[in-house]
Amino acid sequence: MDKLLITGGSILKGQVDIAGAKNSVLPLMAATLLTDEVVELSNIPHLQDVTYAIQLLSGFGVDVCLTERMTVKFQANDLTSVEASYAIVKSMRASILALGPLLAKQGEAKVALPGGCTIGARPVNIHLDGLRAMGADITVEDGFIHAKADRLKGTTFEMHPVTVTGTENLMMAAVLAEGEMVLKNAACEPEVVDLAEFLNAMGAQVSGAGTSEIRIQGVEKLHGVEYAVVADRIEAGTYMVAAAITGGCVRVNHVNVEHLQLITEKLIQAGAEVTVGSDWIEVDMQGRSPVPVNIETAPYPDFPTDMQAQFLALNAVANGDSTVIETVFENRFMHVPELLKMKADIQLDGRCATVKGVQNLVGATVSATDLRASACMVLAALVAKGDTLIEQVHHIDRGYERIEEKLGSLGATIKRLHA
């Protein structure tokens, strides 16, 4: 497997174009199953998870055609299968997003049960309970979720805890259902809003996305559409932290600045000068070391769990102490033992990390244990003394397109070592 070799000490400077959001393109691709007509998605990020999603859809018989750079056409008018194997679900948990659309459109879906993963147990009980409440007959046997329904019926369903893909799955199931679906305690993430706007552009009737109550009036059928994927706020946030951790100045382009409000505030607290444009943000640290910032993750609009690991790296080299509390996933501190190898000073107590900033991290051989943990290792390596070798970088490639190219263009000394 590929590795990344990073020599720390470069101060990052320049501009970087942010790609379409991983967490948006995956539900959007699943939603292409909801119509027989052609759907054209642009601003598709070049990610391993997108390749997996193409494999998933092709496995159902969806016609997938790459038209030009970052644009893909999908047509699901002649499906040959409604089954997603464990091999594909294991590669990408978001395969569970096929369940709602397949059931709504084809009346049946068989999706391998995603197991737990390094960051937590990650059950899908809410997805299944919601579909059952809509009248689906669901069995879980031999490692597969097998769902059947004639036509789903809208109902009122409350989700606990707030779940992003759960909200998305039920929203996609409800757009072709009979009557009105009311989703309570819905996720408010920008990617949920992007999916709602996409579904509405296909002829669905979804309102309230971005609030905790989403209403979906079912329609008979959806039509084709051309749609651009929203910008990836987590990729953008990661490059903003890269500027802050190296004392540099980086402008992230093609972003939705509203989606980055809290990240921006935290970076200002950390000592950065931030300039916000219409679709860009510049983070200028002017050579300073970061001031520590306390973090507590929670569903949007609070601090995203997908940025926790990156801010932990920032705090690891800050002037002072901080706490980082993870409330969304039960085991999302796999990056801490790796940071300790680089001489960070962090105490873990359940879901709380107490960080004492050190003057220098030291290069080491570390492992990228999950997607965002891998971003943490890259950020730590950028400021560590000497060389850091990051193993298992396939996790990074799931969510960050051409990371070595983008960081290299900002002045980082980074090289991919091919296996």
Is residue 305 close enough to count as binding ligand UD1 by CB under 6 A? yes
Interacting span for ligand UD1 (CB under 6 A) from 65-73, 162-170, 222-230, 405-413: 162-170
Is residue 124 close enough to count as binding ligand UD1 by CB under 6 A? yes
Is residue 101 close enough to count as binding ligand UD1 by CB under 6 A? no
Residues 168-197 that bind ligand UD1 (CB under 6 A): 191
Interacting span for ligand UD1 (CB under 6 A) from 118-126, 137-145, 196-204, 313-321: 118-126
Is residue 306 close enough to count as binding ligand UD1 by CB under 6 A? yes
Is residue 94 close enough to count as binding ligand UD1 by CB under 6 A? yes
- φ, ψ (nearest 5 deg) of residue 218: -65, 145
Q: What is the DSSP letter of 11?
A: P
Task: Provide the CA 254 distance to its chain's centre, in angstroms.
Answer: 17
Is residue 91 close enough to count as binding ligand UD1 by CB under 6 A? no
Contacting ligand UD1 (CB under 6 A), which of 57, 82, 164, 193? 164
Least spacing, CB of residue 191 vs ligand UD1, in Å: 6
Residue of 117, 249, 352, 376 marked catalytic = 117
Residues 327-346 that bind ligand UD1 (CB under 6 A): 328-329
β pairing state of 321-325 and 295-296: parallel
| Contact between residue 243 and residue 281 where contact means Cβ atoms under 8 Å apart | no
**CB-CB neighbours of 93 under 10 Å:** 17
**DSSP string spanning 166-210?**
HHHHHHHHHTTSBSEEEEES----HHHHHHHHHHHHTT-EEE-BT
Nearer to ligand UD1, 272 or 373 (CB): 373
Q: Going edge to edge, which strands form the sheet with 63-68? A: 63-68, 71-75, 38-42, 225-228
Nearer to ligand UD1, 251 or 332 (CB): 332
Contacting ligand UD1 (CB under 6 A), which of 14, 115, 143, 161? 161
Active site residue 352: no
Nearer to ligand UD1, 297 or 322 (CB): 297
By CB under 6 A, the count of residues binding ligand UD1 is 21
Q: Can you tell me the distance from the alpha carbon of 218 to that of 414, in angstroms, rounded to the nearest whole number?
A: 50
Q: Can you tell me the distance from the alpha carbon of 256 to that of 280, in angstroms, rounded to the nearest whole number?
A: 8
| Contact between residue 291 and residue 282 where contact means Cβ atoms under 8 Å apart | no
Is residue 126 close enough to count as binding ligand UD1 by CB under 6 A? yes
- φ, ψ (nearest 5 deg) of residue 355: -115, 125
Positions marked active-site: 117
Q: What residue ranges bind ligand UD1 (CB under 6 A)?
A: 23, 26, 94, 120-127, 161, 163-166, 191, 305-306, 328-329
